[in-house]
Amino acid sequence: MTSPPATDAVVIGASAGGLAAIGALLSALPAAYPLAVVVVQHIPADAADTLVRRFQRHCRLPVREAEDKDTVEPGIVFIAPADYHLMIEPDRRFSLSREERVNFSRPSIDILFETAAEAFCNRLVGVILTGASADGATGLAKIAAMGGTGVVQSPETAEVDVMPRAALAACAGARVLPLAAIGAFLARLIPESEAPCPPIS
């Protein structure tokens, strides 16, 4: 396999079946992980308080809910709060919004991915996992268009294959990997010092 691209952040989106899949991915990351990880998991608004605790059980990195104006820092797993869209601003800080649902979802994976693509350009990896909607497909295509890397869970290994298939239809160049291989791929990613797309302050 080609060596992994220099990366500053990983964005992950999942829907139905995502709790287990994301848990498995996070457990593959080493304690001193040099990248920021940002997760959108579709979940009913009232069940969301438990997400951080649930993912923390599987993860050696600190897991936090993303807050408005937080810096997208390496070595931390940020979870989108329930019922808010999560965006990354050009200066690589989070912002939140309660505007209308996108693809019937809030948070929407597309919104995170599209704004992350503009903030991180080619130093971004986007991962689409199991799910029953098409959310994330447009966002993943945007990541690829900005020079980043798209990764899609192979539909046969996904609990629900609608989301991976939609992502592949929109982003043909994405790497298709089974869940375990995605964990290994993410664990090997490293940032490099010279940045072709510096953050805009």
Residue ranges in contact with other proteins by CB under 8 A: 67-70, 81, 84, 87-90, 93, 95-100, 111, 114-115, 118-119, 121-122, 145-147, 197
Is residue 85 flagged as an active site residue? no
DSSP 71: B
Burial of 73 (0-12, 13-18, 19+ CB in 10 A): middle
Q: Which residue has the tokens 């919104």?
A: 111
Instruction: Provide, rounded to whole angstroms, the least separation between the CB of residue 146 and other proteins.
Output: 5
Q: Which is nearer to other proteins, 132 or 197 (CB)?
A: 197
Q: Which is nearer to other proteins, 145 or 180 (CB)?
A: 145
Set 15, 105, 108, 133: catalytic member: 15
Contacts for 180 with CB less than 8 Å, ≥ 6 apart: 24, 28
- With vertex at residue 185, the alpha carbon angle to CA 7 and CA 141, rounded to the nearest 5 degrees, is 60
Set 108, 110, 133, 135: catalytic member: 135
Strand locations in 8-131, DSSP E? 9-14, 36-41, 63-65, 77-79, 85-88, 94-97, 124-128
Instruction: Provide, rounded to whole angstroms, the least separation between the CB of residue 159 and other proteins.
Output: 30
Is residue 15 flagged as an active site residue? yes
Instruction: Provide, rounded to whole angstroms, the least separation between the CB of residue 20 and other proteins.
Output: 27
Is residue 42 flagged as an active site residue? yes
Instruction: Provide, rounded to whole angstroms, the least separation between the CB of residue 147 and other proteins.
Output: 4
Cα–Cα distance, 89 to 116 (Å, whole number): 8
As annotated, the active-site residues are: 15, 42, 135
